[in-house]
Amino acid sequence: MSDEEDIILADLPDDELVQQMFDDLYDGLKEEIEEAVHILLGRDWEPYRILTEALVGGMTIVGHDFRDGILFVPEVLLAANAMKGGMFILKPLLAETGAPQVGKMVIGTVKGDIHDIGKNLVGMMMEGAGFEVIDLGINNAVEAYLEAIENEKPDILGMSALLTTTMPYMKVVIDTMVEKGIRDDYTILVGGAPLNEEFGKAIGADAYCRDAAVAVETAKTFMARKHNQQAAH
Ligand code: B1M
């Protein structure tokens, strides 16, 4: 039996358990991650704290080693799968803490891009904050966004891109909306690791959101502005 198998997660103090979760996420051990999430919930950790400190914290380490060529796609896929296992448990709990519906958002990862963990996290946090979220998934062409906003009439359109090669596609979507004369009917928020504030401005988005918490705050600010404008008319 290896050392790994000897570890009883429930016996570890919080800090060691979080460190172990970093290792387990790194090793793509979904069941262990799920067990640890349940343990932390049992120790009265807030779902948001588990998400940010344990899961996102662990994924950051994976990201660094992927960048440095220490981990490769198959390993990172396993890590992502383990992360999703943990997120799945937290999702309803984050939603429970939310307020009544404050707005509606359509969100999707852009064409050519299959990264969805960050987008899913944004969706979960938005739901937790009381937004209705329509998730278009990954690899969305401009037509998919247009069809969804036409059908769903959201307040906010969110787009995610994790690759420098796919982020310019956000501009294709926004430019198409401008051409169709519908750009100003929606608040457009964009996010993803390679983006920044300047890029958001340059492509004509309303705001760039550094992370899921910022996305929620930004969305709330725009909804408040919208309500104030409606009240003034
Ligand atoms: Co990919 N990958 N990947 N990958 N991957 C990155 C993005 C990369 C930075 C890794 C690296 O080299 N350091 C690099 C991009 C380099 C670049 O373009 N500059 C990269 C590469 C190169 C690739 C491939 C090309 C690798 C290959 O095949 N050779 C390939 C491309 C596939 C494709 O999309 N066509 C690829 C594939 C994959 C996997 C499939 C293995 C897997 C994705 C699994 C999945 O998502 N289901 C994967 C992963 C997991 C990563 C890293 C390691 C982690 C991404 C992640 O989930 N982060 C990533 C390295 C990194 O980012 N450090 C990497 C955790 C997540 C919580 O953060 O997504 O940033 P993030 O989301 C944040 C914010 O950005 C923001 O809020 C989120 C939560 O706080 N946010 C938004 C995100 N979207 C938002 C939308 C909003 C608002 C905020 O709308 C309102």
196 close to ligand 1 (CB < 6 Angstrom):
no
- Among protein residues, the one whose CA lies closest to atom 83 of ligand 1: 192
Q: pLDDT tens digit string along 221-233?
A: 999 898 888 777 7
Residue 220 sits at φ, ψ, to 5 deg, of: -65, -40
Average pLDDT score, the chain: 92
Lowest mean pLDDT among 113-127, 148-162, 172-186, 219-233: 219-233
56 close to ligand 1 (CB < 6 Angstrom):
yes
What predicted TM-score, i.e. pTM, was given to this entire model? Answer: 0.86
pLDDT of 210 strictly over 50: yes
123 close to ligand 1 (CB < 6 Angstrom):
no
Token pair in block for residue 169:
């596609």
DSSP character string of 181-230: T-GGGSEEEEE-TT--HHHHHHTT-SEEESSHHHHHHHHHHHHHHHHHHH
Q: What secondary structure letter does DSSP report for 10?
A: G
Atom of ligand 1 nearest to the CA of 77: 41
Atom of ligand 1 nearest to the CA of 114: 34
- Residues 88, 117: Cα–Cα separation, whole Å: 11
Please give the angle made by the CA atoms of 85, 86 and 92, to the nearest 5 degrees.
100
- Residue reference for tokens 């309803």: 92
Burial of 64 (0-12, 13-18, 19+ CB in 10 A): exposed
Atom of ligand 1 nearest to the CA of 208: 88
- Residues 126, 120: Cα–Cα separation, whole Å: 10
Q: pLDDT tens digit string along 145-165?
A: 999 999 999 999 999 999 999
Burial of 52 (0-12, 13-18, 19+ CB in 10 A): middle
- Residues 68, 103: Cα–Cα separation, whole Å: 40
